[in-house]
Amino acid sequence: MGESTPHEQGSMEIRRDRSQIERVSDAILTAAEDLNYSKASRFAVRLALEEAITNAFHHGHRQLPDTEMIRVEFEVSSERIWIAVEDRGPGFEPQDVPDPTIDENLALPSGRGLMLMRTYMSQVQYNEKGNRVELVYRRPAS
């Protein structure tokens, strides 16, 4: 966090509800648009954010009641977009997720979201427990 003065920053607790997910996404993407991030950049951020939130609810909260919330924090500046998504689940080991591009893993139902986040973001980092992911998108040089 804190690389440059943020144009917009926030923190939200959300339930597994499409409208709440869109509220977080809209706040981040509106700030990015205000700072003239390209349509492609905003697409990349939206995709990675939605994958992180989906993973938090689908995997992190698998054993938890639907009433459990996840926390999303963000900062949008002219240089980068930083997002943290944290669930209340037991966590996981990201290195244990099978590579979905290897032939023997093509049919497996997992790993694609993490691959997409790593593809589109400049940095993807999990905490030690594995229940919080930080995503950084750095604005490409013009």
Residue 52 in any domain: the answer is yes
Q: Is residue 3 part of a domain?
A: no
Residue 2 lies in a domain: no
CATH of the domain at 57: 3.30.565.10
Name the CA dihedral angle for 123, 44, 33, 137, rounded to a multiple of 10 degrees: 10
Q: Which domain holds residue 80?
A: 8-138
Q: Is position 1 within any domain?
A: no
pLDDT tens-digit map of 84-136 = 999 887 766 656 655 655 566 445 555 567 888 889 999 999 999 888 999 99
Greater model confidence, 50 or 58: 50
Instruction: Please tell me the total count of domains within the chain.
Output: 1
What pLDDT is recorded for position 105?
47
30 in any annotated domain:
yes
